[in-house]
Structure formats: C-alpha cells, structure tokens
Amino acid sequence: MAEYQIRRCDRQLEGGIHPETHKDLSTTEPCVFVDDPKRLVFPIHFSGGGPGEALVAVGDTVSQGTPIIKCQSGIIHVASRAGTVIDITDHAITHPSANQSASIIIEPSGLKEQSYLDPLVWPFDADSLRNRAIEAGILGLGGAGFPSFKKWSDGTQTLIINAAECEPYLTADDTLMRIDTHSMIRGACMLSRTLDIKTIVIGIEDNKPEALEAIEDALKESRSDCFFDIVLLDTKYPSGSERHLVWLTLGIEVPTGSRSVELGVIVHNPGTLAALSRAIDGKPITDRIVTLTGEALKAPKNVIAPIGTPINHLIEATDTSPSSLTSITVGGPMMGYAVTEFTAGITKTTNCLLARDVEIPPESPCIRCGACATVCPIRLQPQQMVFALKGGSLDLAVHEGLGDCIECAACNAVCPSHIPLAEWFRLGRFEVRDQANEQRLASEARERFEARNARLERIAQEQEAKRAARKAKTADALEKARKAREQTA
Ligand code: SF4
Ligand code: SF4
C-alpha cells in the first residue's frame, strides 16, 4: 500500500466564482468507446507540440502507432488507427487561432495492426523517460498541449496532479480518475522515481467523491513507496489554474512572469500521467477521453475516441444530428472556443465538446460596477484593460496587467453588460505574443547580420595577415638572394 493522507485545503482562492457545474449531465451514463469513424484528421501544425512536418505521404499504409507527424519540439504524433493516408490537404481544424490548416487524412482499415514501441524496463533514467515521452507524443492533455518532457528538470521537488477540473460541464478528468486510476497513479510514481521527486500532491475539488474513492482504492492496492498528499479543494472556479493550484496545495506563490517549474514544482493533468504510464509500456497516445455534453445533445456522456475523430461523428454518438447544431464549443463554457465546421478532428487537447442552446445577450456599455475586478483571481482591473484594448492601446493594457491574465473568463461570467472581456484579453495576448515573436525574429536577424559582419571582418583580417606574411617572406627571400648575388660577385 502506498502511504497517503487526505487533508482539506486551508487556503482560500481570492476572487473566483461559483457557477452551476452541470457535471451530472455527462456522468450519469457510463464512459464508452466510440466506433471508428470513416476518416481521421490530423492537423500537421496544430496537433500540439508546435508546428510539424508530415512523416507520411499520400498512399502510405499505416498501423496504429505509426509516426505520422514530427513537431519542432521533437514531439511525435502517431496514427490512431491502422489505415491508408488518402490525402494531405488544407482542412478544417479545432484550434482557437485557426480554422483551417494542412492536415493528414487517414481512412481507417478496421484492421488491428499495431506498431508500438518496446517497453521501457525499470530502472531507466530521466533522459530515457524524456525520449519516451517524445516518441509517444506525451502532451498536457488538460488543454494546453505543452510538451510534458520540457517540464522535467533535475531540481523538481514536488509533482502536483491537477485533479481539480474546476470548469463547468467538464468531466473527462473525473472519468479518467474513476476508470483508469491505476494508470494515473503508476505514471505519477514512475515520473517521481525517475526525477527523485519527494512528494506527490493530488489537488482535487470536493465535488468528485467517486474519483476520490477510486484514488484511495488504487493507493491501497499500490506497492509504490511514494507518498501521496491528497488536498481537498472547495469547489470554486478557477481553482485548477496552475498558479492557483500551487498556492492552494503548497502555499507557494508563483511570481508574475515565472512558472512553477522554476520553483521546483511540476503540475500534470491526470490524463497526461495515465498516458505516460502506457507510453512506458510502449503504447503512444492514440485515444483520449472526451466529454460530450450540453443541453443540446440528446445523450451526453464521456467517450473514449481515437485522436483525429471528426466532431460530427462524436455528435452522432450522442444520438444527436449534427445538422441540428450551428456551432459547438471545444472545451468548457469559460475557456472554450466555438467551432462551426464539424468535419474537424479532435486532437490530444480536446477534452470536451459542449453544445448548448444559449442566447448571448447583446453587449451594452460598461456601467463601472466593478464586479469583474471583484471576481478576478489575479486581482486585475478587467474594465481598465478592456478600455485600453478597445482604444487600441496594447501598451496600456499590458501596463494594466494583460500579461498576467489567465483568460479564465470569470469576469465575463459576472459582467452585467455582457462585455466579452476574456475574448478581448485573449486577442490582446495573441497580439503581445505576435509582437514578441516579431521582436525576437528581428533581434535574431540582427544577431545573424552582426555575426556575419564579424565573420567577414575576421576573414579579411586573416587574409590581410596572410598577405603581409607572404610579402614579408618574399622580401626576406629577395634580400637573401640579393646578398647571395653580392657574395658571388
Ligand atoms: S479573464 Fe483575466 S481579467 Fe478576467 S477574471 Fe480571468 S484573469 Fe481576471
Ligand atoms: S463587470 Fe462589466 S460593467 Fe461592471 S465594471 Fe466590469 S466591464 Fe464594466
């Protein structure tokens, strides 16, 4: 039995909101596998892990697990089912920053052909685990899609399992913790042993009693020597944001502009750790749990679906006709984004498809009520930031703290004027990143130019030195010849 304790969190989340959770909607039905779709869609640049390159060509046959995309970060994405690459073309995708992008289209064959990796046999070192995470395409499955191996440094003291899942409607993590608990615990233990992490913390909201019970049962059956500190959090949004979770569970404040890894704390989603456990056994990520929910779906539930499954196939899995919907939200109601093209495929970061019949009331002018500032968990002044952005002053918005905004949309939820504050902040932050990228590219170009000039100067100096040496040698030889001639005369 692994040692563990359960304690209630004694810290309070500042700000935040208590929205209706609507979680029962998708947890009353059991989680099921969906049938394979007729096509699978894999965006080459937007599958997580950064821009990529295709490793397959049209006409290639692939097995489940065959590498098909290699990202700039090194992350490999594999075919989620055996089949044939029937096209590589621009296609609708699910991503907040693009509607279409180059994608690999695979027609599943229905065959069970698999191409997995060799199991990693304990003991293995951190580099072996990092390589395995790269080959198996392990990303943050909670929505961010950050390559997990990049967080794993030698100075890590604590691993936090982010089991808060505080966003309304979402139950994919809750489901995973109920049905795949052992994989999550094993992934956490293997990572901790490899990086010599002392403590594993599980931060879980107190509205998940079934998951908590499953975790306790798994820990009682585990033979791990890791210690688990289970922290029960009040159900309040956004307690699962990384910096708030670190504060709530450990009392460590992550300073502005820093990340928790710099303080020796890594945070992983339950699904990421379960996927890591399977990767150690040789199986790359091919499937994930997706919450299909919302009042507009006839039979909401959680499903296990192949990566690349088109949205319309999943809508049909809830006995709902895709034509009855005009758009669907990818992610939860707070931080998700709308998609209208249902042929787009799910990626590793698609945790939820939400279909609701809600009328969004028209926006009216700000009445300066200050409600948005009261709920902001970062203590920002959202109304000031949005004035700056609406007035075209990105610098002023940054001065007001745009860089610290976690895009949680708690401010949206309470704004009586229905101002889409978080959407403005998301766009503003994209622009800041674009500008930073442009500045970085300009600075890299300047560095390359200066390095080139320095290199040319060095070559010119070397050539000049060689010329001078040759000249001196020739003068010396002429002098010697002259002296020899004089002696002969
Ligand atoms: S979206 Fe940004 S400004 Fe609005 S509440 Fe969240 S952190 Fe604060
Ligand atoms: S909640 Fe809306 S109306 Fe009130 S101050 Fe903020 S932006 Fe203005």
User: To test the ligand 1 pocket, which listed residue (380, 398, 404, 429) has its Cβ within 8 A of the most ligand atoms?
Assistant: 380
pLDDT above 90 (res 134): yes
For residue 98, the model assigns a pLDDT of: 82
The answer to whether the beta carbons of residues 155 and 147 sit under 8 Å apart is: no
Looking at the predicted structure, is the pLDDT value of residue 99 above 90? no
Q: Tell me, what's the pLDDT at 480?
A: 87
Q: What is the DSSP track for 284-321? A: ---EEEEEEESTTSSS-EEEEEETT-BHHHHHHTTT--
State pLDDT tens for residues 182-207.
999 999 999 999 999 988 999 999 99
Indicate the DSSP class of residue 47: S
Tell me if 343 CB under 6 Å of ligand 2: no
User: What is the structure's pLDDT at 84?
Assistant: 98
Alpha-carbon distance of 150 to 48, in angstroms, equals: 13
Q: What percentage of the chain carries pLDDT values higher than 70? A: 100
Report whether pLDDT(143) > 80.
no
Establish whether residue 251 lines the binding site of ligand 2, counting it when its CB lies within 6 angstroms of any ligand atom.
Answer: no
Query: Does the structure show a pLDDT above 80 at 13?
Result: yes
* CA 167/CA 237 separation, integer angstroms: 6
Most informative mutation of 364, 417, 424, 425 for ligand 2 (most atoms within 8 A of CB) = 417
- Grade residue 339 by pLDDT with cuts at 50, 70 and 90: very high
- pTM for this model (two decimals): 0.88
- What percentage of the chain has pLDDT greater than the value 90? 82
pLDDT of 316 reads: 98
238 Ramachandran zone, left/alpha/beta (phi>0; psi -120 to 50): beta
Mutate to test the pocket of ligand 1, among 335, 400, 425, 432 (most ligand atoms within 8 A of CB): 425
DSSP H helices in 2-76: 24-27
> The tokens 């970062």 sit on which residue?
378
Q: What pLDDT does residue 66 have?
A: 98
Locate the ligand 2 atom nearest the alpha carbon of residue 370 and give its number.
5
CA geometry: angle at 351 spanning 177 and 411, to 5°?
A: 105
Burial category of 404 from C-beta neighbours within 10 Å (exposed 0-12, middle 13-18, buried 19 and up): middle
Q: What is the pLDDT of residue 103?
A: 98
CB-based pocket (< 6 A), ligand 1 = 376, 378, 380, 382, 405-411, 421-422, 425
pLDDT in tens, 223-238: 888 999 999 999 999 9
Q: What does the pLDDT read at residue 4?
A: 95
Which of the ligands is closest to the CA of residue 241?
Answer: 1
- At 425 the pLDDT is 96
pLDDT band at 295 (very low <50, low <70, confident <90, very high): very high
pLDDT in tens, 394-430: 999 999 999 999 999 999 999 999 999 999 999 999 8
Closest-lying ligand to the alpha carbon of 418?
Answer: 2
Residues ≥6 apart with Cβ < 8 Å to 56 = 62, 66, 68, 85, 88, 104
Residue 439 pLDDT greater than 80, yes or no = no
User: pLDDT per residue over 468-482, tens digit each?
Assistant: 998 998 888 888 888
* Tokens 């699962």 belong to residue: 240
pLDDT of residue 148: 94
Say what the pLDDT of residue 358 is.
Answer: 79
Burial class of residue 63 (count of CB atoms within 10 Å of its CB; 0-12, 13-18, 19+): middle
* Structural domains of the chain in order of their starting residue, each with its CATH number: 3-33+119-289 (3.40.50.11540), 371-432 (no CATH)
344-361 pLDDT per residue, tens: 999 999 999 999 977 888
**Averaged pLDDT of the chain:** 94
